[in-house]
A and B are shown apart, each in its own frame.
Chain A
């Protein structure tokens, strides 16, 4: 088995690549994609810690599984909101949104 710290370093790198994308991009969909990267990094951590530190239990496994489900739901709602924003403001950049209601 690959040692647990390799997984840790991989997921830390993935997490901060996601953070970089979230800060540097101004496009709503690109920011959402960066959030997906961050969520995936967290789920790798859950699964690897569970498998390599506590192989008899399944807590991290189910945390990852439910995390995948919640991420799917979050994406659906966020994309609905983005489409609505585009319809109202004719732009998909976060800078274009000045008020919550037009």
Chain B
């Protein structure tokens, strides 16, 4: 029962913030609402007993990515962003609404036709132990993930260097 209550609260926070995020006219507010969405998603991970994933979501997304957005908005300039002069074109709004409604209906139809959800099992509310996650993360056996882990670390390094090279001022 408590799970349902928590899920409903989180769903309201996530969907409400997401709608406000894409409809607000000010970019700074959009970034703030994005932060709420990210916190809500982290709450969903906690609800699924993936505590580690929730912590990673908060530290990487809410701590890192949102901060990057705020810095970029401040750097890109007062005139164009903070006070925002984005004009919502009616045709584009209508196109977006139609596209997303059609997509949503398609996805829901596929969901209704599918039977996979009856295979869902009832799991107890126990946290997935950190020991299991750690062993799977840096083990090299089958169903263990040391290679993608290392790949991600090198990939992040490459992206940092690439970002520096792109954003550097040309002489």
Binding site for B on A (CB under 8 A): 1-10, 12-27, 29-30, 32-34, 36-37, 40, 43-44, 47-48, 51-53, 55, 57-59, 61-62, 64-66, 68-77, 79-84, 86-87, 91-93
Taken together as a complex, chains A and B put the C-alpha atoms of A68 and B52 apart, in Å, by 12
Among A12, A20, A34, A72, the one with the most B-chain Cβ atoms within 10 Å of its Cβ is A20
B32 to chain A: closest CB distance in Å?
A: 11
Residues of B near A16 (CB, < 8 A) are 100-101, 103-104, 107
Nearest CB in chain A to that of B11: its residue? A10
Q: Are A82 and B100 in contact (CB under 8 A)?
A: no
Residues of B near A73 (CB, < 8 A) are 155-156, 159-160
Q: Are A80 and B162 in contact (CB under 8 A)?
A: yes
Binding site for A on B (CB under 8 A): 3-4, 7, 11, 14-15, 18-19, 21-22, 27, 30-31, 34, 37-38, 41, 44-45, 47-50, 52-53, 56-57, 60-61, 64-65, 68-69, 71-73, 75-77, 80-81, 84, 86, 88-89, 92-93, 95-97, 99-101, 103-104, 107-108, 111, 116-117, 119-123, 125, 128, 132-133, 136-137, 143, 145, 148-149, 152, 155-156, 159-160, 162-164, 166-167, 169
Taken together as a complex, chains A and B put the C-alpha atoms of A80 and B92 apart, in Å, by 27
Nearest CB in chain A to that of B3: its residue? A2
Taken together as a complex, chains A and B put the C-alpha atoms of A40 and B149 apart, in Å, by 20
Q: Are A64 and B120 in contact (CB under 8 A)?
A: no
Residues of B near A12 (CB, < 8 A) are 104, 107-108, 111
Q: For chain A, what secondary structure do more than half of its interface residues adopt (helix, strand, loop), or is it mixed?
A: helix
Residues of A near B101 (CB, < 8 A) are 16
Q: Are A76 and B159 in contact (CB under 8 A)?
A: yes
Q: Are A52 and B69 in contact (CB under 8 A)?
A: no
Taken together as a complex, chains A and B put the C-alpha atoms of A36 and B17 apart, in Å, by 13
Nearest CB in chain A to that of B107: its residue? A12
Name the one of B15, B45, B117, B160 contacting A13, with C-beta atoms under 8 angstroms.
B15
Name the one of B64, B76, B145 contacting A29, with C-beta atoms under 8 angstroms.
B76
Residues of A near B68 (CB, < 8 A) are 75-76, 79
Q: Are A48 and B48 in contact (CB under 8 A)?
A: yes
Contacts A68-B60, A80-B163 known; A58 to B143 CB distance under 8 Å? yes
